[in-house]
Amino acid sequence: MDITKTTKLFAGLGMLILTGGAFADGWDPKSNANSKPRDPIANTGGVGDTRHNMTMNYLRYGGSNDVGADMDEYRNDYGAVCVYCHTPHGANTQIDAPLWNRTVAPDSVYEPYDRPTTLMRPMSVPGPTSLTCLSCHDGTIAIDSVLNMPGSGRNPMNNSQNASRAAASNMDFLNQWAIAYPGTGASGKHATLGPDLGNSEISDTCAGCHNNSIFELESFRAFMIGTDLRNDHPVGVLYPDAAGVEAGFFNEPNVKLPGNMAFFDTNGNNRADLDEVRLYDSGEGYEVECASCHDPHGVPSGGSDTNTRFSPSFLRINNGIGDESHDGNINIVSNGPSALCLTCHTK
């Protein structure tokens, strides 16, 4: 890191000490992610106002710094929010996900949940709507590992593309961005989020800074899922059939679209709304995947009241955080404890 960068970063960190606010467990609902500087409420409106804005082009509360610039050494700044995940053309055809612009790992690298479950429903590898999330959260793939960089001609030398399904990114290809647009990315360093709960080396990963030990910088350690999914809620697991539902352990989704998805249509409009839990059918029947419980663009906690802040952790249904029990929760509407879990489980 050169001197100017260091000075700039530490000027930023000085500010952090004043604002502070991360919790001991590292989870901080008060993300500063906010692409509308004049509206000080983060986590409202759209994906640009969430931690899924990888450009981080927003201002800190009351500050004037462009947060993203601090991170230019660690990821390409493509200058657009959607690009890190989607592309309008030339998407990854090897994964059944909407216009997917990222390299993804083959499902075989993941170790599925292996404990006995109540109904012992068939457990398989993560499906497409989990592989999308894992392409960042497993900590093996660079945050900026896309197939298409934005803008026509913005693929400077137009050679050596990223192979669609290669988890290991073509670094020469990613480096072309920094060469063409100096100051918006680092030659040679394309950081991953970091390893599973920080079990191994974290330098040169995002967690190298985001680990709660450097001043009060948000810790990302809890969000690093790794490739070992044995300690995570099962994904790629077949939802109970009618017999399982009758046995009284599970609720039945009231809309089923074979070959596509099933969902709990709580408002009866026959659409899978953002705040309705869904199960995905990628050929084996309805399965639980990451996007069953989470929407990566954020879901207003007050349902149709879009002025409310998003449910924490991108959850489709707020699982009990809110009601202003501490100041980080202001304007988050809770659905009550375990509301998400009880959508599927009857307990």
Q: How far apart are CA 23 and CA 316, in angstroms?
A: 23
Sole window of 133-141, 175-183, 300-308, 326-334 interacting with ligand HEC (rule: CB under 6 A): 133-141
Q: Does 105 contact ligand HEC by CB under 6 A?
A: no
For the chain, the C-alpha Rg in angstroms (whole number) is: 20
Q: Does 47 contact ligand HEC by CB under 6 A?
A: yes
Residues in contact with ligand HEC, shown as a per-residue x/- string from 146 to 175 under the rule CB under 6 A: ------------------------------
Q: Which C-beta is closer to ligand HEC: that of 7 or that of 157?
A: 7
Task: Please choose, from the candidates 55, 10, 56, 66, the residue with its C-alpha nearest in 3D space to the C-alpha of residue 33.
Answer: 56
Interface residue with ligand HEC among 45, 57, 66, 67 (CB under 6 A) is 67
The CB-of-305 to ligand HEC minimum distance in angstroms stands at 19
Sole window of 154-162, 165-173, 288-296, 328-336 interacting with ligand HEC (rule: CB under 6 A): 288-296
Q: Which C-beta is closer to ligand HEC: that of 115 or that of 159?
A: 115
In this structure, how many other beta carbons lie within 10 angstroms of the beta carbon of residue 49? 25
**CB < 8 Å & 24+ apart, contacts of 170-176:** 174/76, 174/142, 174/144, 174/145, 176/149
The CB-of-118 to ligand HEC minimum distance in angstroms stands at 3
Q: How far apart are CA 136 and CA 314, in angstroms?
A: 15
Q: How far apart are CA 301 and CA 314, in angstroms?
A: 10
Q: Which C-beta is closer to ligand HEC: that of 42 or that of 302?
A: 42
Q: Does 331 contact ligand HEC by CB under 6 A?
A: no
Task: Please choose, from the candidates 280, 282, 262, 281, the residue with its C-alpha nearest in 3D space to the C-alpha of residue 272.
Answer: 262
Q: Which C-beta is closer to ligand HEC: that of 86 or that of 154?
A: 86
Residues in contact with ligand HEC, shown as a per-residue x/- string from 178 to 217 under the rule CB under 6 A: -------------x-x------------x-xxx------x
Q: Does 33 contact ligand HEC by CB under 6 A?
A: yes
Q: Does 137 contact ligand HEC by CB under 6 A?
A: yes
Q: Does 132 contact ligand HEC by CB under 6 A?
A: yes
Q: Which C-beta is closer to ligand HEC: that of 308 or that of 343?
A: 343
Task: Please choose, from the candidates 286, 309, 100, the residue with its C-alpha nearest in 3D space to the C-alpha of residue 277.
Answer: 286
Q: Does 119 contact ligand HEC by CB under 6 A?
A: yes
Q: How far apart are CA 312 and CA 307, in angstroms?
A: 15
The CB-of-132 to ligand HEC minimum distance in angstroms stands at 4
Sole window of 64-72, 157-165, 171-179, 329-337 interacting with ligand HEC (rule: CB under 6 A): 64-72
Contacts with ligand HEC: how many residues (CB under 6 A)? 77
Q: How far apart are CA 342 and CA 86, in angstroms?
A: 32
Q: Does 118 contact ligand HEC by CB under 6 A?
A: yes
Q: Does 292 contact ligand HEC by CB under 6 A?
A: yes
Q: How far apart are CA 147 and CA 129, in angstroms?
A: 18
Q: Does 27 contact ligand HEC by CB under 6 A?
A: yes
CA distances from 338 to 277, 303, 321 (A): 13, 17, 10
The CB-of-123 to ligand HEC minimum distance in angstroms stands at 7
Q: Which two tokens stand for residue 323?
A: 């009601």
Residues 6+ apart with CB under 8 A from 207: 193, 194, 195, 198, 219, 220, 221, 224
